[in-house]
Structure 1
């Protein structure tokens, strides 16, 4: 019989975009080895709370609970302490844990975000059973000479026992600490020591070490391999040389993180980090729980060999994809009701096209990427090296992870993720294989400021394409038409799919000086600028190729939107090879039949939502 389940409680302070990305690798390592239920308590700021809540809601991990506590509610407890450490005030928040956590949390493992587990966290939880009567804090000895005061001349470290203890991993017996009024004890020591030291150098670690130097009976010393510290001043002889085959937790306690060392000893540990960065988090939905639980342990295999295309597509459309919004730092505050964000979706192989788009659009962008875990790191590296992207802070990068290597492209899920995270009042519903005309962002915001009135107007930006792989984007409408006359450009899909944009009326646009209205026509799928508020979302039943955008334009028309063509703005399509899903559509009758089933379901939803206003779509659906 299985033993009863113990829930391991973990507390992590996580604030900001970078920490929210970093902590995911730690969580993966915990999930990979764990054999127990986990309850992770996050102390967060507004940014990390938004990101992590969305991530864990879409990750859907069994036997795994998360709780969030807003750091701002408790920050006054520590904000009076001057701290020179790069972590700032959040580096002191571990001191508030007893105040933050509910009283029924009796024991907790406290972790920094820059740790990686190479062993089951359940084993270190069992060290609580080894605590002596008075022992309430479990720590690993510091693996540098920092607290010995020998690293530099004229440097005096905070008080510590011997070489001190590292607080990147802490076992806290909350019941014992509350009994001795821990909060009052550390505050009293901090106030006294700050009169001499003026500030902390290592945040909470200085204060905890000083408290322990006066209260050694509280300390339980943990084996060094439970916190192998790869700091700038690491001494290999203190742990690694004797225990390199027993390392259970790796700690990059340096500002440079995994870039701090290049020797062979550290390379193998860095490889562990990269393994967990790149591992598919979807596989970690299937834990090796070795105890009795009340939860059903039935999971659908990601590699089901039974194949029915329609069932597979329906299942893919309903799949829950882990989603990490704002994967990279974002800093943009819209101050105008006519501000516009591009809404775009792509895979990692479209990065160079995305870069070209961004070069011609200086405004905000909300981009959803469909990637593997490994490809997400490729995105980070690409952005760091791109002269176009490296300094941009107004691009929201949102990762929607593939559940398997054969996942069907969830195009409308991606659009909805990007749409929901847009921070502007207006959005430009876009595809990544287009380059905007120079100055289009300024033109759109100016036009909307002067003309936008009805919240239900969809402003069409005409789309063109070239059959040349190399071309210069026309600066103006007049230059564009001169090149159309020379055969360089033509209206988008005018040869292969004219009905998609015919309603734009390109012949009228050629001479138009003012915006003009057009009516919806069958299979119309223009690129539009619309107000974000109350905008219908895309129907996520449409995945892969076919009808994903057409259905949305139909719904806009059914919802009462007016289509208006802008007289001067335009976008140019960049030629590329057909997608895998387009090839399926062209070659597979089954794929097209599945798409027809999705269309029928869409029409039923439309009729239910808009009632009689959808009659025209039903009478014409046989032509689509």
Structure 2
């Protein structure tokens, strides 16, 4: 009897093991069949991945998803970035975003005016402003001549931050500046209010097509000359490259940015808490920290696309602007509104005062040349040609297109 029971027990164990093996094989088969679908789902964040290698970055056309690991001492998260996202069609409007608070209404309108004057494509302005500025923006933009008004649409948004830390974000650096980290729009060119376009906006927008599969944003270096660089001399936190990057002109692929498992707030807040006592330039410092740890995610464009007083205040150090002229002028440090850098103020004044329907040669180039003559006592004024070279070409191109359009209508 005992022998019979032993044989029965052994047979039962064998049957159980066989069933278990069959079940495991079935599960494995199903898992393999659904692997492609699971690869597209959002993956949960995993702690302790700060040193994990990026073996699965997009190094070939056969890879459709990249999974870099955002290596932060205070917070580590993983992202899935959809790389086969179609780029915007040339027929779609160029998205231009700006954040305006306080007394920045007129300065912002001058920036928008420069965009409309020189662009050949339709634009969409995304204006994030304090509530008491909304009416001023609408009234001014609707009053522009129809020939220019027809070139753009606009949306005005309130200033909003993640509710859990809204006050902390709003008070970081300048009022409302951190709003640019939380733009609820599609891919967009963000610019500070003190930006002036000296060539069409769509030309910087075209850098989106130069992004590789890992790029999520594009910016210009903070400095060209390390001897006068701020980050490499004074920063007490990580920063991008040799001299950091400047966020005053920032092209952002928001689709890729939103592909992160964590929202920007969840990504940035741990960094803010870790470096709060060490950052000077607010959200720009946080962006430098992010791209220090993830340099493959940033596309860097040359200095003439974000030309600031630092490029000439101690002597000319933006070789690309010397050769090609300034493409985008960035009048930070309030230089449009004082007499410290008259070359920068000259460009701002002529664009602000330019009547829309006037001839751009007589209304822009001639008065700008006259104003720049009085700026030669400054280092920036001594390289006055960089302020007019590209603008002169832009005006010439626009005149040629106008002539061609008239001829086409006559025919």
Fold conserved between structures, TM > 0.5: yes
2:156 to 68, 75, 86: 68
2:121 to 36, 45, 49: 36
Give the SS at the match of 1:11: strand
**1:165 aligned partner:** 245
TM-score, normalised relative to structure 1: 0.39
Matches within 5 A, 1:52-451: 52-59=137-144, 60=146, 61-72=149-160, 78-81=166-169, 85=173, 87-88=174-175, 90-97=176-183, 100-101=184-185, 105=186, 107-143=187-223, 145-150=229-234, 156-157=236-237, 159-181=239-261, 183-184=263-264, 187-198=266-277, 200-231=279-310, 236-239=315-318, 243=322, 245-259=324-338, 261-262=340-341, 267-281=342-356
Q: Is the 8 A contact 2:94 2:123 kept in 1?
A: yes
**In the TM superposition, what whole-angstrom CA distance separates every residue of 1:57-92 from its partner, at most 9, and x where no partner exists?**
22250021000111147576553248563x23x111
Pair 1:181–1:110, CA change in 2 (3 A): farther
Whole-angstrom CA distance in 2 between matches of 1:23 and 1:166: 19
Give the SS at the match of 1:9: strand
**In the TM superposition, what whole-angstrom CA distance separates every residue of 1:427-448 from its partner, at most 9, and x where no partner exists?**
xxxxxxxxxxxxxxxxxxxxxx
Whole-angstrom CA distance in 2 between matches of 1:257 and 1:94: 22
Shift of 1:36: 0.3
Matches within 5 A, 1:510-549: none
Whole-angstrom CA distance in 2 between matches of 1:257 and 1:190: 33
Q: Is the 8 A contact 1:231 1:252 kept in 2?
A: no
Pair 1:41–1:261, CA change in 2 (3 A): same
Pair 1:196–1:13, CA change in 2 (3 A): closer
Give the SS at the match of 2:98: strand
Whole-angstrom CA distance in 2 between matches of 1:210 and 1:261: 31
Shift of 1:165: 0.4
Shift of 1:146: 1.2
Shift of 1:270: 3.1
Shift of 1:208: 0.8
Whole-angstrom CA distance in 2 between matches of 1:74 and 1:136: 21
Pair 1:242–1:123, CA change in 2 (3 A): closer
**In the TM superposition, what whole-angstrom CA distance separates every residue of 1:176-208 from its partner, at most 9, and x where no partner exists?**
111124634x64344235334426421210111
**1:7 aligned partner:** 93
**In the TM superposition, what whole-angstrom CA distance separates every residue of 1:556-578 from its partner, at most 9, and x where no partner exists?**
xxxxxxxxxxxxxxxxxxxxxxx
Whole-angstrom CA distance in 2 between matches of 1:255 and 1:225: 19
Structure having the higher Rg: 1
**In the TM superposition, what whole-angstrom CA distance separates every residue of 1:7-31 from its partner, at most 9, and x where no partner exists?**
1001110123x21111111111111
Shift of 1:237: 4.3
Q: Out of 112-121 and 72-81, give the one that drifted further.
A: 72-81
Q: When you count helix as a share of all residues, which structure comes out higher?
A: 2
Question: Structure 1 stretches of 5 or more lacking a match?
Answer: 287-373, 375-624
Give the SS at the match of 1:259: coil
Whole-angstrom CA distance in 2 between matches of 1:241 and 1:137: 21
Q: When you count strand as a share of all residues, which structure comes out higher?
A: 1
Pair 1:76–1:236, CA change in 2 (3 A): farther
Pair 1:223–1:231, CA change in 2 (3 A): closer
Give the SS at the match of 2:212: coil
**In the TM superposition, what whole-angstrom CA distance separates every residue of 1:488-536 from its partner, at most 9, and x where no partner exists?**
xxxxxxxxxxxxxxxxxxxxxxxxxxxxxxxxxxxxxxxxxxxxxxxxx
Shift of 1:241: 7.8
Shift of 1:243: 2.5
Give the SS at the match of 2:248: strand
Matches within 5 A, 1:465-480: none
How many residue pairs were aligned?
A: 266
Give the SS at the match of 2:105: helix
TM-score, normalised relative to structure 2: 0.58
- Larger RCO (alpha carbons 8 Å, 6+ apart): 2
Pair 1:198–1:51, CA change in 2 (3 A): same
